[in-house]
Amino acid sequence: MSTPQQIASDAATRTLTLQWPDGREQQIAHAELRRACACAECRRIRLDDSTVHASPDVTLTDVQPMGYGVQLVFSDDHARGIYPWRYLEELAEAASRSAEQKL
């Protein structure tokens, strides 16, 4: 499992950027991260086939490295999700695939 060399959150574009050791750069929208929150509560909502409510205006206000991943704090005061690196990588891959399909 690899760990990003750099992780940067941009409030203006509401995007989280991950820089991987192999040179790849991935971007994930803050709202997307909020919808995919990794906490037990949000996971349960998605298991029930529901969507986690996320305002399109939601922003990431803090990023706390946790070793195996990051704890993400959102502007709606939701801060329970710890996102393992592998999970973030998969989220970003899924996001870029759906962006390609829209072209």
Site of interaction with Zn ion (CB under 5 A):
37, 39, 42, 81
Of 24 and 44, which has the nearer Cβ to Zn ion? 44
* Min CB(78)–Zn ion separation in Å: 6
Of 28 and 42, which has the nearer Cβ to Zn ion? 42
Of 42 and 70, which has the nearer Cβ to Zn ion? 42
Stretch (H or E) spanning 94? helix 85-102
Q: How many CB atoms lie within 10 A of CB 2?
A: 11
| Rounded distance between C-alpha atoms, residue 83 and residue 68, angstroms | 8
Beta bridge partners of 64: 71
* Min CB(100)–Zn ion separation in Å: 28
* Min CB(50)–Zn ion separation in Å: 13
